[in-house]
Structure 1
Amino acid sequence: MADEGDILTDLDATPATGNGADNLPSAGIITQYVKDLSVENPNAPAVYQWKEQPQIDLQFNIGANKISDEVTEVELKVNVTAKTSQGNAYLIELVYCGLIGLRNVPEDQAHAFLFAEAPRLLFPFARSVVATAVQEAGFQPLLIDPIDFNGLYIQQLQAKREQEAAATPVGQA
């Protein structure tokens, strides 16, 4: 009968890849966190007497900062402005980040993971932070609709290709 040490040793064995090297592609979130959060309620307490529903302006931006060869910080920036004819009801600025580990992933696939898949994975948590921040400012929670980050990524790639094609000179002068 094997003791616990024997079982752990068997589980820790490296996969049979011929030379023992870890050359399989892998990608995943190492950790995630709020990097920056700003909540402004500039017209309190008067804003709570306003009858008009605010118009919501929602902006997103995605950035990636390489930390090391295998780790990249992906930033999901969310800016929310709730405005009425009487002024701003509230402003929320959030930078929600994830440390993303990538190993043995081809560059084109790494780019797609960092700018489409990682934001998709981070979004529900950023959405929750925004909803809570709005509620803590004294308003009904703002529930942001899901976003198709993969679709947006493909649209941006197509737009970039079209722009590059339009900039390429045709014929000879």
Structure 2
Amino acid sequence: MSETEPKGAAEQQSQVKLRIVTQFIRDLSFENIAAQKNLQGDVTPELAVEIGMDVRKRPTDDQYEIVNKYKVSSKNKADGTPIFLLEVDYAGIFHVENVPEDQLHPFLLIECPRMLFPYVRRIVSDMTRDGGFPPVNLEPVDFVALYRQEILRRAQQQQQQQQPSGNV
């Protein structure tokens, strides 16, 4: 029995701990371009959603600030006339323990945004509805795929910077 006790204690100590300390809107902008330009007639909206993520270590031990940046724009499908633009930066401060150093970056940019997403989704829905449009309900986001795309993009940028130019 004594062999299982230390093993159980070690497993308990190394268990990942994740807690949201706080979350908040860092920046929010909604432009009703259709109302500003008095857009009338037959309008068929076409939505585009862009997502960015940022992470930084906070001075407090084991705390990180994650910022999800959403840009939701709508244009008239027929002529490309802008209808509305919504930009929201939503941040969360997380307390994270027992994540191996080599897994920390993906953990912070996948798990933490996944926890914040329902709140951002509600904000986007409320803002578009309050702006005079049908509420936009964001589709679930595959944060693993977003993370992989970002890593690939950064690797390509590094590769381009390291290539010598053709001029001598």
The verdict on a shared fold, with TM-score over 0.5 as the criterion, is: yes
Residue in 2 that maps onto 1:43: 34
Residue in 2 that maps onto 1:56: 47
CA-to-partner distance for each residue in 1:63-90, whole Å, 9 max, x for gaps?
Answer: 0121123111100000011112273211
Match of 2:103 among 87, 96, 109: 109
Match of 1:71 among 53, 60, 63: 63
- Aligned positions, number: 149
Residue in 2 that maps onto 1:141: 135
Residue in 2 that maps onto 1:171: none
Q: 1:65 to 1:132 in 2, by over 3 A?
A: same
**TM-score, normalised by the number of residues in structure 1:** 0.73
Gaps of 5+ in 1: 1-15, 169-173
The structural deviation recorded for 1:52 is: 1.5
Matched, 1:82 2:74: yes
The ranges of structure 1 where at least 4 consecutive aligned residues each deviate by more than 3 angstroms after the TM superposition are 22-25, 154-168
**TM-score, normalised by the number of residues in structure 2:** 0.74
SS at match of 1:44: helix
**Distance in 2 between the 1:156 and 1:36 partners?**
22
The structural deviation recorded for 1:24 is: 5.1
CA-to-partner distance for each residue in 1:36-61, whole Å, 9 max, x for gaps?
Answer: 110111231623x3321121121000
In angstroms, what is the RMSD of aligned CA positions?
A: 2.7
Q: 1:81 to 1:127 in 2, by over 3 A?
A: same
Gaps of 5+ in 2: 1-7, 164-168
**Distance in 2 between the 1:165 and 1:92 partners?**
34
The structural deviation recorded for 1:156 is: 4.3
